[in-house]
């Protein structure tokens, strides 16, 4: 069956790395039909639109979305993040952000399940007496039983297919309400997964363990904000930004899931042909895995870790991985 994939190359190095991802997917023999979408900072600068509803509606018929990176230096912070990336997560109900980390040198092989639609990112809050000396800004964290439970349940199921160890990360000591909801939900769902051993770390402690003893982790589940920060650290201790891939999943498959490298559009190196495409290629492998093309996904991931370190240049790396399949 042909998979229909929406392609959002985006800005900067985004289109460069996605080209290599598609090169490798095609070389794997998986049949894909692609539909291109011109979205991101450049489009916003050209016509002032970020994500038209007509595009969102078209996406509902796709199998997946494959995104490079979005954002240009001239667009104010927040416009693309809220208008495109967060809107996608909310509208397509991409409630799990899954980020795998593997780095043999440091005995690292864990995956982070970050709740992707709630927490401080849900947009709750506001200003009062804006711009005055008495200004007040509030920013709440939204945690629903439904949202927390489905992320935790996904993480337990993932752990069942791995080393059967799940760590919840939060700050239950200073965030007693959200923390309590997370803790109770985690403990309740745990009773359904008796084979999975569980652990809990405060987020600050997890930052230390991730550097000092990362081998203790198999699957981590955490909220949107902690997950955002922890996964940048995960990338830093496991081979760097060039290897960090991610999936924004709608596990119920009521719409397409979205796959993207963790890195941004890197305007400083755009157009130079030196961006590392491995993170994008690994994100493509996650996409194939989610679409049921498990053999191709495994072959691509293996090829990414096997290529010679001496190969440099975006397309040379893509070629080497395609040839290694």
| Residues in touch with ligand ATP (CB under 6 A) | 13, 17, 71, 241-242, 263-266, 268-269, 275-276, 279
Pick the closer one to ligand ATP by CB: 9 or 179.
9
Q: 247-266: buried (b, 16+ CB within 10 Å) or exposed (e) per residue?
A: bbbbbeeebbbbbbbbbbbb
Residue at shortest CB range from ligand ATP? 264
Q: Which candidate, 181, 178, 202, 199, places its Cα nearest to that of 190?
A: 199
Q: How far apart are CA 191 and CA 196, in angstroms?
A: 9
DSSP notation for 304-321: HHHS-TT--SHHHHHHHH
Pick the closer one to ligand ATP by CB: 81 or 91.
81
Query: Minimum Å distance from CB 232 to ligand ATP?
Result: 9
One-letter-per-residue 3-state SS of 242-283: HHCEEEEECCCCCCCEEEEECCCCCCCCCCCCCCCCHHHHHH
> Residues near 83 by Cβ (< 8 Å), separated by ≥ 6?
44, 50, 51
Pick the closer one to ligand ATP by CB: 143 or 238.
238
Phi, psi of 35 (to 5 degrees): -125, 120
Pick the closer one to ligand ATP by CB: 3 or 265.
265
Query: Minimum Å distance from CB 137 to ligand ATP?
Result: 22
Query: Minimum Å distance from CB 253 to ligand ATP?
Result: 28
Query: Minimum Å distance from CB 80 to ligand ATP?
Result: 9
Pick the closer one to ligand ATP by CB: 160 or 233.
233
Query: Minimum Å distance from CB 240 to ligand ATP?
Result: 8
Query: Minimum Å distance from CB 161 to ligand ATP?
Result: 29
Q: How far apart are CA 21 and CA 182, in angstroms?
A: 37
Pick the closer one to ligand ATP by CB: 15 or 255.
15
| Number of alpha carbons in the 13 Å side-chain half-sphere of residue 210 | 27
- Kindly give the residue spans of alpha helices, DSSP state H, lying in the chain: 14-27, 41-47, 53-59, 79-80, 87-91, 145-160, 176-190, 203-212, 224-237, 278-290, 294-306, 314-324
Pick the closer one to ligand ATP by CB: 167 or 245.
245
Query: Minimum Å distance from CB 266 to ligand ATP?
Result: 4
The pair of three-digit structure tokens given for residue 94, joined into one six-digit string: 């991409």
């Amino acid at each position: 069956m042909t998979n229909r994939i929406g392609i959002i190359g985006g800005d900067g190095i985004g289109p460069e790395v996605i080209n290599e991802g598609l090169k490798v997917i095609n070389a794997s023999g998986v049949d894909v039909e692609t539909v291109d979408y011109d979205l991101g900072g450049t489009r916003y600068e050209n016509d002032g639109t970020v994500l038209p509803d007509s595009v969102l509606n078209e996406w509902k018929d796709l199998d997946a979305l494959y995104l490079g990176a979005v954002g240009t230096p001239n667009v104010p912070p927040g416009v693309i993040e809220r208008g495109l990336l967060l809107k996608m997560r909310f509208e397509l109900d991409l409630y799990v952000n899954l980020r795998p980390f593997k780095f043999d040198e440091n005995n690292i092989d864990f995956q982070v399940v970050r709740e992707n639609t709630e927490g401080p990112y849900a947009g709750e809050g506001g200003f009062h007496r804006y711009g005055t000396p008495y200004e007040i800004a509030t920013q709440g964290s939204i945690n629903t039983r439904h949202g927390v439970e489905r992320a935790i349940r996904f993480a337990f199921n993932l752990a069942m297919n791995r080393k059967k160890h799940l760590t919840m990360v939060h700050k239950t000591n200073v965030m007693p309400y959200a923390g309590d909801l997370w803790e109770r939900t985690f403990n309740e769902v745990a009773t359904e997964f008796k084979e999975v051993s569980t652990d809990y770390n405060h987020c600050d402690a997890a930052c230390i363990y991730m550097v000092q003893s990362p081998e203790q982790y198999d699957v981590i589940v955490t909220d949107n904000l902690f997950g955002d920060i922890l996964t940048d650290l995960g990338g830093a201790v496991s081979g760097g930004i060039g290897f960090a891939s991610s999936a924004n999943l709608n596990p119920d498959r009521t719409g397409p899931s979205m796959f993207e490298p963790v890195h941004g559009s890197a305007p400083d190196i755009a157009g130079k042909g030196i961006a590392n495409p491995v993170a994008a290629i690994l994100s493509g492998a996650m996409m194939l895995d989610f679409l049921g093309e498990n053999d191709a996904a495994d072959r691509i991931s293996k090829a990414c870790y096997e290529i010679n370190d001496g190969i440099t240049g975006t397309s040379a790396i893509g070629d080497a991985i395609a040839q290694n399949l």
